[in-house]
């Protein structure tokens, strides 16, 4: 469907008019909408599975594990916690405000929100964010990805069936439509995608001083560090599972591994064995192995692999017809090479060897680059790992594990710097889509004149200093 600026503006105006009716302010009403959304996701599971298979070659298990199931979990957490989260906070105003004793903080929705979602997890990263916006009491316009066209088509019909357009609606189309959306005045924008487009979204939002949440992949990719004391088999098994997931098209996936030279060879052999055990000798022929989203993505991956052909120690081949490219290990790679200075978003896995005693030099290089969305450490030295995790800048991560930090209830997910701004999931999503408004309840009795002119310093200043302690 083609859109015009006028049509999109009309959609925004209709949602703004609906928001101003105050309907979405009612927490009980929001809970009903969240239940409707959850039940509809469950009843449309088969359609979502089929669309994910067509767009990304996902198996039913991976479709549910990574896209459909997490939406249900997320909504259930909101249903459980929303009444508590939305309750106004009550504060003592303090002696400086006497005789006004009570101040409340109301959790107010922003209003009309724009959610721009990506192709790699098109159901989760659309409906999960929509749920957070609804939870906060907003209306939502979705601009879904044109790359995952089957999922976008299914979701467009799904949204139109579940919600009226003045509350939630989905707009499809390419970059031109996204730009038309960004020309409108929004109360909140939530974008998931690349840092490059994130800058564009932020610039357009700045024209109206619109608050923005950005969930980005990180410009220089996510590091995994494997120390010499790591459990090699355990690390390899977990890393391989994660790299196979969605064929590496995950914003928190491992972009490159830094491995201690002392264990590099056995670790690489363990990776090879884990790949074969989990996906078979020839991953591109396994129908459970996902594909790359477009022919352009495939060609980019294949070209990078060809450029490092002499250092490929596993994989390195693909099928341009099915768009499946095998998981590929590239070793050895210098920490300053171009391939480990950018987000790959594909099944290539460069491996950087380092002397274990030089780990601080590796960390210094990582810290000097743009902040990643995720960091993963494998080691038995938990004190060292916790010290690293508590002193470096990144979105989130794991020690001796991969990716599951984003599945923990009650914790935020988000990046920093080039990997994003803002955070969501559960209560953090509610916070992201609401503004805390502070309101002091004044008194008309026993008002003091100390704050009013004329000032008498000898009487007022000692009292002010006493009250401010």
pLDDT in tens, 352-408: 999 999 999 999 999 999 999 999 999 999 999 999 999 999 999 999 999 999 999
* Residue 448, pLDDT above cutoff 80: no
Indicate if the alpha-carbon torsion angle 110, 115, 116, 122 is positive or negative: positive
Please tell me the predicted confidence (pLDDT) of residue 444: 87
Tell me the C-alpha distance between 425 and 409, whole Å. Answer: 8
Percent with pLDDT over 70 in the chain: 99
Residues 219-247 pLDDT 10s = 899 999 999 999 999 999 999 999 999 99
Please tell me the predicted confidence (pLDDT) of residue 308: 98
Known catalytic residues are 215, 251
Tokens of residue 6, six digits: 């006028």
Tell me the C-alpha distance between 191 and 197, whole Å. Answer: 9
Within the chain, all domains assigned CATH 3.40.309.10 are found at 223-407
Q: Give how far Cα 251 sits from Cα of 125, 192, 288, 414, Å.
A: 11, 9, 21, 11
> Would you say how long the chain is, in residues?
469
Please tell me the predicted confidence (pLDDT) of residue 464: 74
312 and 305 Cβ atoms separated by less than 8 Å: yes
* Residue 21, pLDDT above cutoff 70: yes
Under 8 Å CB-to-CB from 129, ≥6 apart: which residues? 115, 117, 190, 192, 424, 429
Within the chain, all domains assigned CATH 3.40.605.10 are found at 5-216
> What's the whole-number average pLDDT of the chain?
96
Alpha helix locations (H) across 148-231?
A: 149-162, 175-182, 195-206
Tell me the C-alpha distance between 319 and 285, whole Å. Answer: 9
| Per-position DSSP letters for 78-129, written without gaps between them | HHHHHHHHHSPEEEE--GGGTT--EEEEEEEE-SEEEEE--SSSTTHHHHHH
SS3 state of residue 22 = coil
Q: Domain 5-216 belongs to what architecture?
A: 3-Layer(aba) Sandwich (3.40)
Q: 260 - beta bridge partners?
A: 354
Task: Return left, alpha or beta for 101; rule: phi > 0 is left, psi -120 to 50 is alpha, else beta.
Answer: alpha
Residues 165-196 pLDDT 10s = 999 999 999 999 999 999 999 999 999 999 99
Tokens of residue 346, six digits: 């594909």
Cβ burial 390-427 (10 Å sphere, 16+ → b, else e): eeeebbbbbbbebbebbeeeeebbbbbbbbbbbbbbbb
Please tell me the predicted confidence (pLDDT) of residue 305: 98
Q: Domain 223-407 belongs to what architecture?
A: 3-Layer(aba) Sandwich (3.40)
């Amino acid at each position: 469907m083609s859109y015009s600026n006028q049509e999109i503006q009309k959609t925004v105006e209709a949602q703004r008019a609906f928001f101003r009716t105050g309907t979405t302010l009612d927490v009980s009403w929001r809970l009903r909408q969240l239940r409707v959304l959850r039940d509809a996701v469950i009843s449309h599971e088969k359609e979502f599975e089929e669309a994910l298979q067509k767009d990304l070659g996902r198996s039913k298990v991976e479709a549910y594990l990574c896209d459909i199931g997490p939406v249900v979990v997320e909504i259930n957490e909101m249903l459980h916690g929303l009444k508590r989260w939305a309750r106004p906070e009550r504060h003592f105003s303090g002696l400086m405000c006497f005789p006004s004793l009570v101040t409340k903080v109301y959790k107010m929705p922003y209003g009309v929100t724009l959610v721009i979602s990506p192709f790699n997890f098109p159901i989760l990263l659309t409906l999960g964010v929509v749920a957070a916006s609804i939870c906060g009491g907003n209306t939502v316009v979705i601009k879904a990805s044109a790359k995952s066209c089957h999922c976008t088509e299914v979701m467009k019909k799904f949204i139109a069936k579940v919600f009226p357009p003045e509350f939630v609606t989905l707009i499809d189309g390419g970059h031109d439509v996204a730009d038309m959306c960004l020309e409108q005045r929004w109360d909140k924008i939530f974008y998931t995608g690349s840092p490059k487009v994130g800058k564009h979204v932020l610039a357009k939002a700045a024209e109206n001083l619109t608050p923005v949440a950005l969930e980005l992949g990180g410009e220089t990719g996510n590091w995994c560090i494997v120390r010499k004391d790591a459990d090699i088999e355990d690390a390899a098994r977990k890393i391989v599972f994660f790299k196979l997931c969605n064929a590496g098209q995950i914003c928190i996936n491992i972009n490159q591994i830094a491995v201690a030279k002392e264990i590099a060879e056995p670790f690489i052999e363990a990776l090879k064995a884990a790949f074969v055990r989990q996906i078979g000798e020839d991953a591109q022929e396994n129908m459970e192995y996902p594909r790359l989203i477009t022919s352009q993505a495939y060609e980019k991956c294949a070209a990078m692999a060809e450029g490092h052909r002499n250092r490929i120690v596993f994989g390195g081949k693909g099928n341009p017809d099915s768009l499946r490219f095998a998981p590929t290990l590239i070793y050895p790679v210098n920490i300053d090479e171009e391939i480990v200075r950018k987000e790959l978003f594909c099944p290539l896995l460069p491996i950087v060897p380092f002397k274990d005693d030089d780990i601080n030099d590796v960390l210094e290089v990582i810290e000097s680059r743009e902040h990643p969305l995720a960091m993963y450490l494998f080691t038995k030295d938990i004190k060292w790992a916790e010290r690293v995790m508590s002193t470096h800048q990144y979105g989130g991560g794991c020690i001796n594990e991969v990716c599951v930090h984003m599945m923990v209830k009650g914790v935020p997910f988000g990046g920093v710097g080039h990997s994003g701004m803002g955070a969501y999931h559960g209560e953090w999503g509610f916070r992201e889509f609401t503004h805390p408004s502070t309101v002091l309840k004044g008194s008309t009795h026993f008002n003091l004149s100390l704050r009013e002119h004329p000032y008498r310093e000898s009487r007022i200043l000692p009292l002010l200093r006493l009250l401010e302690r």
